[in-house]
Every structure is written in structure tokens, then in C-alpha cells.
Amino acid sequence: MKFPDTNYNPPFNITRASHLTLTVKDLGRSKEFYTEVFGLVVSDEDSETIFLRGVEEVAHHSLVLHKTVDAPRCQSIGMRVQFDEDLDRAKAHFDGEGIRSEWIEVPFQARTLRFHDCAGTPVDLVARMETRQRLLGQSRLHKGGAVLRLDHYQLHTPDPHEASIYYSNLGFRCSDYNVGGTPERITGAFMSRKDNPHDIVYIRGRGPALHHFAYAIMESSHIFRACDAAAQLGFGQTVERGPQRHGLDHMLYVYFRDPDGHRAEIFIMPIQLIDLEEPPHEWGTIGTLEQPWGRPAPRSWFFETTPFENVELSPRLEEWEPMTLEKSLGL
């Protein structure tokens, strides 16, 4: 089936995935995981919050960790817009469409507008942040995976078809999508505003919920550096999937579960996607596609997610049985 057409004149200009905020039980242990295994850099911190960025990033933060005594959650994901005026255009668009949105105050960020998309995901829009020094050239400071920058989010929703229409209308372009069901509908959509295959990915599942967020790395050896650092610091069992190669875009990757169970991916820089004559690529249902090599993902990878704070999850969907690691081993 045909993917919805991209609106190349959207009501406001989103440029990329920018930042997200997680709540965690043990702030010190989470700091150790993200700085020593992933190689993120602390921009600012206090007893309740840590602001982190990749070694290539100049913007103040791409990951924010808040201490909590409750169940760990994702508070929001963030997107950059091109100009501050785009925030006013976005507010006018949401008001006109009857979409809930509000201005919020966030440390180290300029004006920030939060809205809830069609799936119920809280999304923060911002045009500017404070800046810090880029550390890409200071290799003596690099640790673990030495991740460069935040690349994308993958989320679950009961209706990726609706999400694909919603984000196409906001100017997002599709690189790949999955189809399935009777009647046939879109069950997964990989959509972007920058020059690679994904800023936001929606896959069919109980939601809205965060499946994972991903950081890009410079070279494949950094995957193994991250895994080695995890093992040496007692995080070895947090490796959930990989190292392997993605079938859709051929990227090497590894997935971790942080100390609170949030899933985070490290992957080699993705393919370029700029020229408009390249159409979206249609695939079958996720979980039925063959791996280029290696075993399938474990069952946890398909069904376990991080809920959003103060956002109600959809009812459980009907059971489906992807090809899992456990099934491939006869367990």
C-alpha cells in the first residue's frame, strides 16, 4: 500500500529529534551508566537532575535524568524547530486543530511548547538552548561508546497508520514502513525531518510508550567499547540485543536496558536520505523479517516499553507472535 504523501509546506518547521527526559530511581547509578558506557558528557547537574549531551553536541542537553521515587517513566520527547517564530506558528496550528498544547519552563532551554500528538505522546518543541563546548576532538575525554548525538526515538501506538498521516502532514518524510493485517494497514513507520531515515518511528503496540531512543557513533569499534565498559562496571547483563546489523538500513547496533529498564540504542551513523526521488520502502510486519545474520530479538524487545508520565496506556492489543530469540531456540 502507498504511504501518505509528505506535506512539504508544513504549518511550522521541525528540524530534528532533539532531547528527551526520563525519570530514574538511582541518579548516581544512571549517571555512571550513561557517562561510562555510552560516553555522554554532563553539562549540568544537581541532587535531583542531570543534563547530558553527546561528544559532538553543542546544545546543552539531549538526555535529561530526573530522580524519582515512583516507577520510572519518560516525561517527554523533544523536537527542534528552525526559528523561534515556528513556536508561535505551532501554537496557532494546534489551537486551530483543537490539539492540546501549553508553554512550559525548562532549564537551559528558550521558549518551549509542549503538545500531545495523535497517539498521546508528549512532545516538546524548542528553537534554542544554551550551548556548551563540542568535545568531539578531545579524544582523551571520550569514554565507552563515545556517542556523538541523539538520532531518533521509536515509540509504540495502537495505530501507526494514524501516526503516519499525522506526521506526514507536519512535513515528515518516510524512509521505510511496515504493512500488515486485513484490511491492510501501516504497522510501522520510519519518519524523518533531517537527512537520514528516522527522527521518529512508530510501531504497532500498546501505547503511547517509548520503545527506545538511539545515539549515533563514529565507528563500529565503539559498540564493542561500550559493551566492554558495561561488563567491567557490572552492566554486562543490560545488553538486550546485538551487536548485530539492521536489515532495513544495514546499520550495526546494540541495544541496552539502563538500570531502570529504559531501552537505549547505540548504532553506527545511518544512511543518507535527501533526494526526493527515492520512494519509501515497503516491508512486511516487524518480527517476520529475517536478520542479515544472527538470532532474532528476544521477546522483551518486542513487548517491553517505558510508559509516559501521566499518560494513560491503550488497552492491551490482541496477541501476536513475532519470531523471537526464545522461539528460534525452541524455548
Contact (CB, 8 A) for 161 and 85: no
Instruction: Burial-class residue 292 by CB neighbours within 10 Å (0-12, 13-18, 19+).
Output: exposed
Q: Is residue 319 part of a domain?
A: no
Give the separation between CA 242 and CA 313, rounded to whole angstroms: 28
Mean pLDDT of 269-285: 87
Mean pLDDT of 131-143: 96
* Full residue range of the structural domain in which residue 249 is found: 14-135+143-314
Query: 3-class secondary structure for the chain?
Result: CCCCCCCCCCCCCEEEEEEEEEEECCHHHHHHHHHHHHCCEEEEECCCEEEEECCCCCECCCEEEEECCCCCCEEEEEEEECCHHHHHHHHHHHHHHCCCEEEECCCCECCEEEEECCCCCEEEEECCECECCCCCCCHHHCCCCCCCEEEEEEEEECCHHHHHHHHHHCCCEEEEEEEECCCCEEEEEEEECCCCCCCEEEEECCCCEEEEEEEEECCCHHHHHHHHHHHHCCCHHHEEEEEEECCCCCCEEEEEECCCCCEEEEEECCCCCCCCCCCCEEECCCCCCCCCCCCCCCHHHHHCCEEECCCCCCCCCCCCCCCCHHHHCCC
| pLDDT above 70 (res 309) | yes
Q: Is residue 3 part of a domain?
A: no
Report the range of poorest mean pLDDT among 9-23, 84-98, 263-277: 263-277
CA dihedral 183, 186, 187, 191 (to 10 degrees): 180
For residue 265, name the pLDDT band (cuts at 50, 70, 90): very high
pLDDT at 287: 64
Mean pLDDT of 16-38: 98
State pLDDT tens for residues 165-177.
999 999 999 999 9
Q: Is residue 305 part of a domain?
A: yes
User: pTM here?
Assistant: 0.96
Angle (CA) 61-79-62 rounded to 5° is: 15
pLDDT at 88: 98
Share of the chain above pLDDT 90, in %: 84
Mean pLDDT of 211-218: 97
Domain count of the fold of the chain: 1
| pLDDT above 80 (res 325) | yes
pLDDT at 86: 98
For residue 182, name the pLDDT band (cuts at 50, 70, 90): confident
Mean pLDDT of 256-282: 93
Q: Is residue 78 part of a domain?
A: yes
pLDDT at 228: 98
| pLDDT above 70 (res 288) | no
Q: Is residue 87 part of a domain?
A: yes
Mean pLDDT of 38-42: 98
pLDDT at 289: 61
Mean pLDDT of 21-39: 98
State pLDDT tens for residues 143-161.
999 999 999 999 999 999 9
Mean pLDDT of 57-67: 98
pLDDT at 323: 85
Give the separation between CA 249 and CA 292, rounded to whole angstroms: 11
Contact (CB, 8 A) for 258 and 144: no
Q: Is residue 324 part of a domain?
A: no
CATH number at residue 158: 3.10.180.10
Q: Is residue 1 part of a domain?
A: no
Tally the residues of the chain.
Answer: 331
State pLDDT tens for residues 219-243.
999 999 999 999 999 999 999 999 9
Q: Is residue 329 part of a domain?
A: no
Give the separation between CA 123 and CA 159, rounded to whole angstroms: 18
| pLDDT above 90 (res 284) | no
| pLDDT above 70 (res 248) | no
Torsions phi, psi for 238 (to 5 deg): -80, -10
Number of other residues whose CB lies within 10 A of the CB of residue 184:
10
Distances (CA, A) of 42 to 11, 135, 185, 226: 35, 12, 43, 17
Mean per-residue pLDDT over the chain, rounded: 94
Q: Which of 314, 316, 307, 300 is nearest to 68 (CA)?
A: 307
pLDDT at 249: 66
| pLDDT above 80 (res 142) | yes
